[in-house]
Structure 1
Amino acid sequence: MMNMDWQLLSSEYLFKDQWLTARVDRCLTPSGKIVEPYYVLEYNNWVNAVALTADGQAIMVRQYRQGIGKTLLEIPGGTMDAGETSPLLAMQRELLEETGYRFEEMISLGTIAPNPASSNNITHMFLATGGVKVQEQELDPTEELEVVVMPLAELQQLVLDNKIVQSLHTTCIFYALLHLGKLGVK
């Protein structure tokens, strides 16, 4: 296999914040080409989960997304906090905070890269089963989430009808449906 990795020659931070860091890199390709400027956005890693109640209902959240200016139906998830090293523990925390549910089993569905061309982070996907509500939501000061519980078949149809537009969430839903045997592969 041909080595296609670029060599990082220099890197300069343009902006650093809790939620976003932007840098500009200067790179050398294996064929000797200099690529500059190359912009990279740094984010903490993310977690998300298809969360199912003890009776198999899907737990969703509705929230406003400023990036596209719409309120969306999504699966629970969020950012791994600074210092959090366990995606599983981060996901359990996010589920409890956003939904108030605790889960009997957490199954890893793998990791994906949200945008590997320009972002450095990954998303850890889970299937959470056996959910029982144990508390009220504990939302961050800027979060406003509505919990929506629906039959899994309804969630499946929403995805098939392209009604779940958050691509990282749709990917997790497809992996969960495949794991559950609810997605026929043709």
Structure 2
Amino acid sequence: MADQDDQPSSDRWTISATRTIFTNPVVNLVTSRVRCGRTAIEKDFYKFQFPRWVNIIALTGRQELILIRQYRFGTDRIELEIPGGAVNDGEDPLAAGLRELLEETGYAGQNGRIIGKVCPNPAIQNNFCYTVLVEDVRQVAEPSQDDMEDIEVLILPQDEVQKLVVDGSISHGLVLNALMFFAMDKAKNRFGRP
């Protein structure tokens, strides 16, 4: 898994002696010797290499949002989220968003576009997460979930989703970030500015 959306690092930092410590289909863990140009001190740094991710804001013709509930091993609980998943190698993030929406929910729509991009944790991760907005979604197929997915699809009014954010029912940081991008996109379209 290569670094995503590489930008040159500062010439004040030197990276050497990189090696992979652990690898599996979900994540690689690498370590590198890093030298700070300001202090000349060297230390080992660790980085989790993930594929790019995508989250989907799916909006029905009635302006309702598609949410999902699914078990998450990290928190050992059922989480309320929006559809999302990994971007395959060589896949465009927009295409990945449309694919994940269809796979997880059976929904498809129109006017798909990327409305945001973030680095989930730049201190220790290399990847980016994209937010895709898809409008006028409707169910066109049955979901085709992975063998370890058990997803419940929900359709909720936007004001109810806002309440779920405020009361903590939606606590996934990247989902909250996607909802922020959606709110900013709505404001921009309504008022012509963010």
TM above 0.5, one fold? yes
Distance in 2 (CA, whole Å) between partners of 1:47 and 1:125 is 6
Distance in 2 (CA, whole Å) between partners of 1:78 and 1:5 is 35
Distance in 2 (CA, whole Å) between partners of 1:34 and 1:46 is 34
CA contact (8 A) 1:95 1:101 kept: yes
Distance in 2 (CA, whole Å) between partners of 1:138 and 1:119 is 29
CA contact (8 A) 1:47 1:87 kept: yes
Deviation per CA, 1:107-144, whole angstroms, max 9, x where unpaired?
32121000100000000112211101100001111111
Do residues 7 (structure 1) and 14 (structure 2) align? yes
Aligned to 1:120: 126
- Structure 2, gaps ≥5 residues long: 1-9
CA contact (8 A) 1:4 1:29 kept: no
CA-CA distance at 1:159 after TM superposition = 1.5
CA-CA distance at 1:179 after TM superposition = 1.5
CA contact (8 A) 1:26 1:34 kept: no
Cα–Cα, structure 1 residues 159 and 53, in superposed 2: closer, same or farther, change >3 Å? Answer: same
Query: Which letter maps to 1:65?
Result: R
Deviation per CA, 1:9-52, whole angstroms, max 9, x where unpaired?
12010011110100111011121433422110000000001111
- Structure 1, gaps ≥5 residues long: none
Let me know the Cα RMSD of the aligned residues.
1.5
**Superposed structure 1 runs of 4+ greater than 6 Å apart:** none
Give the alignment's TM-score, normalised by structure 2.
Answer: 0.87
Say which of 96, 99, 117 aligns to 1:90: 96
Aligned to 1:81: 88
Say which of 45, 55, 74 aligns to 2:52: 45
Give the alignment's TM-score, normalised by structure 1.
Answer: 0.91
CA contact (8 A) 2:12 2:38 kept: no
CA-CA distance at 1:170 after TM superposition = 0.2
Say which of 145, 152, 156 aligns to 2:158: 152
Do residues 109 (structure 1) and 110 (structure 2) align? no
Aligned to 1:20: 27
Count of residue correspondences: 179
Aligned to 1:33: 40
Aligned to 2:6: none
Distance in 1 (CA, whole Å) between partners of 2:47 and 2:108 is 36
Query: Which letter maps to 1:104?
Result: Q
